[in-house]
Structure 1
Amino acid sequence: MASAAEPNTSRSPPLLDFSKFYNASDAAAKKELVDQVRDCCLHNGFFQIINHPVPVELQQRVMAWNKRFFDLPLDVKKSVGKDLNTWNRGYELLRSQILEEGTLPELKEGFYIGEEIPKTHPYHVNKKLNSGPNMWPSAELLADVEDFRSCTMDYYKNVVSLAKDILKVLALTLDLDEDYFSEFASGAVATMRMLHYPPTEKGDGEEKLQRGIGAHTDFGAVTLLLQDEVDGLQVWDNEVKQWFDVMPVPGAFVVNLGNLMMRWSNDRYISNLHRVINRSGKERYSIPVFFSGNPDYVIDCLPNCKPDGEQAKYPPITVEEAVGGSYRESYGRAEKYKASQMKQGVDKAVGTPVGNPVAVA
């Protein structure tokens, strides 16, 4: 793997011009984009897009709020802690999650946002995936909280709309009608995480086990990631058995497939391993939006994704069933780790061999 000073980007996800999707007068350009996305989905499930409809100014504003939120005092952030509700909205403390078995609790803190769903909504009443009202600091603790709210929700809605367009491109890559995924995308659950990664800690022989986020695969349908100027994201390339750095590109989104799409396509498309290790010596910030889909939608093998007469590799399953379990597992792993450390009467982890990666929403 390349050093932090000389990142290896030789097989990084390519940069694609997404404006070709909207150019109705140039069918050849649109087909070129579809072919490029298909190649990426067959290779490692990652690509990057520029010239999309999300304004660069909005990206910059939401990233500025991302940094500003994590600069708030800890007691302000904890006032909107995700442990204060049961629907996964609000602030997440450092070292709350372990996605890669055998590594240390992850060196990141987060803030979860989603569609504003009132407690009277059927999704909340029936405890559907990550469904409920957002958690915002009070005006007493953050004077311009309304700007924070309006900026983040404007960004969220723009990215969710873009995710639906990406699904249209993915449908075309599979020789399906462009609107094939429209029912799946209707009433969809999508979760946005503002994230802050302090620099990787060194010393005590633990650096090799410290991650910003451990090696994992996402388990929704598609993820759109906005990076700041600090690198740290790495994607596994199974062909050459090596990690490759994804260097930030101003205005671009990193797009990757999740486990739902891999399952849906009968493993034709790839939900690929990725991780974050912040060796830059700087604070790193990013904002992923995980598009999971309608929680009641049944994921079954897509047309054209299995030979005639053969059984699909996976039985039908709802989005709720597919996404919920792995999500709880990753946080449960961190809780078990902390409990074991408390039982042993130690404050820091003893290194253990790195085990199997898992999925994350």
Structure 2
Amino acid sequence: MPIPTISFAPIFGTDDASRAKVVTQIRDACLKYGFFQLVDHGVSQDLFDEVIKQSAGFFSLPEDVKEKYNKDQDKFQRGYERLRAQNFEKRTAGDLKEGYYFGADLPLDHPRVVAKKFNMGPNKYPQEVADPEKFRETIDTYYSTMLSLAKTIFQVLCETMETSNEFMSEFLDIPIAILRLLHYPPQAPDASEFERGIGQHTDFGALTILLQDEVGGLQVWDREASAWIDVTPQRGALVVNLGNLMMRWTNDRYLSNLHRVINKSGRERYSVPFFLSGNPDFLVECFPKCADETQGPKYDPVTVGRWMEGRYADTYGTSKDKAFEELSSSESKAGMAQV
């Protein structure tokens, strides 16, 4: 059974009954899949088309040009991520994708940057693309649009749990929010059975909003059927899923579900995920209504920043902190046990 497709239109309307129906649909999707496709969300198709166009333009540049913007040149987690830099399943040389990271474009003298908060700093905007100004305008517009939509979705998630959203102003105060351009080359016909565009994993943060092109390849784990199900692209739709922070926050009530990409289409695949994690100093602890009445919360409180540092160190193989490794791998191991 495919993940549900949900119209978000009633959330912007005035009909309380229609809004309540959407809240119920999203609650059910979060409980069963941790995924749903969202339509009627108010984002224009022209913006979708333009961000995919700009992404493809950058990834078509020569390798030496792309490397000028490598994210490993500094500690800001911004810029180009070379092919196979990430390795989720650790059974091949790495995941068959390349990417580019953007976030809130903060100057070097911003207090969060000076304090070396994770993922806080200036963006790198490539100058070798066909129209650098158009590229930057598109990225910045898409980033702000997704951040606004993520805030609205998060408000609805609070409604699904009958939880006050009074914490949101603190949680969303200059949040770790990552826009990532991704390019998946087609897999070779004779590729290993373990070859993946991206290996099975759960997302790091609280909420992901994904734009995918028409090529397909995204798969989500269906626990009831014990099988991978395809997330068929729908023009104009956004794929929304919960991440590990939301799983911790809800005491496993909501699912941060396994997913992967396998690109056997023979075509180039492009996608643009937006990851909302939150204020790096925000302390994530179990929502009161989600705590077990007898055993209490399953997970210790953790700040957004510490959690994200641990997850990045684990998947990029850069961790030198055993505590980070143990922290970051706990939910991943639990997720892998589902398969």
Task: Please report the TM-score for the alignment, with normalisation by the length of structure 2.
Answer: 0.91
SS of residue matched to 2:36: strand
Question: Does residue 1:19 correspond to 2:6, yes or no?
Answer: no
Shift of 1:309: 4.2
Task: Decide which of 144, 147, 156 is 2:134's aligned counterpart.
Answer: 147
Shift of 1:182: 3.4
Q: Which residue of 2 aligns with 1:184?
A: 171
Shift of 1:19: 1.1
Equivalent runs, 1:269-348 vs 2, <5 Å: 269-332=254-317
- Letter of the 2:207 counterpart: V
Q: Are the equivalent residues in 2 in contact too, given 1:82–1:90 (CA < 8 A)?
A: yes
Q: Which residue of 2 aligns with 1:202?
A: 189
- Letter of the 2:119 counterpart: N
Shift of 1:131: 1.1
* Deviation larger for 323-332 or 122-131: 122-131
Runs of at least 5 residues in structure 1 that lack an aligned partner in the other structure: 1-10, 335-354
Task: Decide which of 141, 146, 156 is 1:169's aligned counterpart.
Answer: 156
SS of residue matched to 1:332: coil
Q: Which residue of 2 aligns with 1:338?
A: none
Aligned residues with identical type, % of pairs: 48
- Letter of the 2:30 counterpart: C
Deviations 1:179-203 (A, max 9, x none): 5533212221100110000011233
Of structures 1 and 2, the one with the larger relative CO (CA 8 A, separation 6+) is 1
* Deviation larger for 270-279 or 129-138: 129-138
Shift of 1:211: 0.6
Distance in 1 of aligned mates of 2:114 and 2:253: 36
SS of residue matched to 1:207: coil
Distance in 1 of aligned mates of 2:253 and 2:82: 37
Highest CA radius of gyration, 1 or 2?
1
Shift of 1:333: 7.2
Shift of 1:239: 1.2
Q: Which residue of 1 aligns with 2:50?
A: 61
Q: Are the equivalent residues in 1 in contact too, given 2:96–2:195 (CA < 8 A)?
A: yes
Shift of 1:240: 1.1
Task: Decide which of 222, 231, 237 is 2:207's aligned counterpart.
Answer: 222
* Deviation larger for 323-332 or 212-221: 323-332
* Deviation larger for 85-94 or 266-275: 85-94
SS of residue matched to 1:209: coil
Equivalent pairs counted in the alignment come to 323
Q: Which residue of 2 aligns with 1:352?
A: none
Runs of at least 5 residues in structure 2 that lack an aligned partner in the other structure: 320-332
Change (3 A) 1:180 1:40: farther
- Letter of the 1:74 counterpart: E
Distance in 2 of aligned mates of 1:287 and 1:82: 17
Shift of 1:315: 1.1
Shift of 1:331: 0.8
Shift of 1:357: 7.2
Deviations 1:215-243 (A, max 9, x none): 00001000000000100000001111100
Task: Decide which of 240, 244, 249 is 2:234's aligned counterpart.
Answer: 249
Distance in 1 of aligned mates of 2:318 and 2:224: 30
Shift of 1:103: 3.5
Distance in 2 of aligned mates of 1:356 and 1:67: 35
Question: Does residue 1:35 correspond to 2:20, yes or no?
Answer: no
Task: Decide which of 114, 120, 124 is 1:135's aligned counterpart.
Answer: 124
Shift of 1:356: 9.1
Distance in 2 of aligned mates of 1:357 and 1:268: 14
Distance in 2 of aligned mates of 1:181 and 1:169: 12
Shift of 1:178: 4.8
Task: Decide which of 136, 144, 167 is 1:157's aligned counterpart.
Answer: 144
Q: Are the equivalent residues in 1 in contact too, given 2:57–2:129 (CA < 8 A)?
A: no
Distance in 1 of aligned mates of 2:167 and 2:242: 17
Equivalent runs, 1:121-132 vs 2, <5 Å: 121-132=110-121
Shift of 1:267: 0.4
